[in-house]
Amino acid sequence: MRPDHTYAEVARFRKENTHRYWCNYSSHAVPADDPASARNRLKSGEVVIVENKPRFTIQKGATVYTIGSCFARNVERSLKRQGFRVPTIELEIDKGIYTGNTPFHNTVLNKYNAHSMAEEILRGLEQEPDPQLIEVEPGQWYDPQTCFTRFMPYEEALALRRKLDDLARDVVTADLVVMTLGLVETWFDMESGVVFNGLNAGSMKHSARKTTGFFNATVDQVVDVLSDALEKLVARNPEVKVVVTVSPVPLGQTFTDVDVIMANTYSKAVLRVAAQMLTARFAWVDYFPSYEMVMHSPRAITWADDQVHVSPPVVEQVIQTFSNRYIAAT
């Protein structure tokens, strides 16, 4: 077995890491007043700031391409206000494509599982020309890579897919790609092998239910599918940098037979480990601990009443921390 580090290296880490203690006890085994300890930060009653050492910085005004769910939508809004070019928020879309009301005009872009995120990158690299549309009933089609959209005639669904593919091509020129991993419960078409971004409940009322399968992704599956997409991305965009985060937003419901809290813990644990493995594999990929900041902050200030969505002030503070660390000083 090969060690990750030598004893000397670990000793140096311990000496230099001022945030190493969960609780820093005094010589009398009494919790010490150490503001860098996890104990003191957790007791502060404020948003818990978790430290990381960024591998790289980006210039203000850079192009940032965001991939993820509703938390990514919040991220892109904040980055836009700070002067970055964020192509995903510039998308002009007819809200008539949706099945109901949505808080974001670009909800269609929401991505939840690793396979659908990888698919968006590959489509941006023009490595997936097949539109992958599914006919759920005569004359009515569904795009399994979209979110919250209604069934459409083929030409309308195809036009929307082409528009989204045009947007995805911005990954080729992006300075930074921010990927917010969401969940691991994943649906796919058993005949074509196409993985869905999410389950369209309406499609299950039709013939699609006969060919739809489910899997709960493992760490290896997440790492493999994202590694493949990221390797192809950097081959086309050698200067690109990638920040991976894990969305704190929990599963709205689980499709497994366990308590949703257990299912959500598994989901986030898989994604957090996968994110760590990606940063270990690629020097141009970094992990930002937004998940840890939200999950360890007081629930009363962190979450909306549904206990699903993160409150806007907390999102702003998390993104401000991100900006402070990753935006180069001019």
- Angle at Cα 90 formed by Cα 85 and Cα 92, nearest 5°? 170
CB 315 within 8 A of CB 322: no
Domain 56-326: give its CATH superfamily: SGNH hydrolase (3.40.50.1110)
Least confident of 38-52, 199-213, 227-241, 300-314: 199-213
Residue-wise pLDDT for 72-109, tens only, equals 888 788 888 888 999 999 999 999 999 988 888 999 99
Please give the pLDDT value at position 206. Answer: 65
Residues 6+ apart with CB under 8 A from 312: 74
Residue-wise pLDDT for 221-265, tens only, equals 999 999 999 999 999 999 999 999 999 999 999 999 999 999 999
Least confident of 3-7, 199-203, 273-277: 199-203
15-23 LR contacts (CB < 8 Å, sep 24+): 19/51
pTM of the shown model = 0.94
Please give the pLDDT value at position 117. Answer: 97
Q: How far apart are CA 283 and CA 270, in angstroms?
A: 21
Amino acid at 79: L
Domain ranges (residues) in the chain: 1-44, 56-326
| Burial call 116-146: b when 16+ CB within 10 Å, e when fewer | bbbbbbbbbbeebeebbbbebeeebbbbbbb
Residue-wise pLDDT for 178-216, tens only, equals 999 999 999 998 988 889 998 877 667 666 778 889 999
Residues 6+ apart with CB under 8 A from 101: none
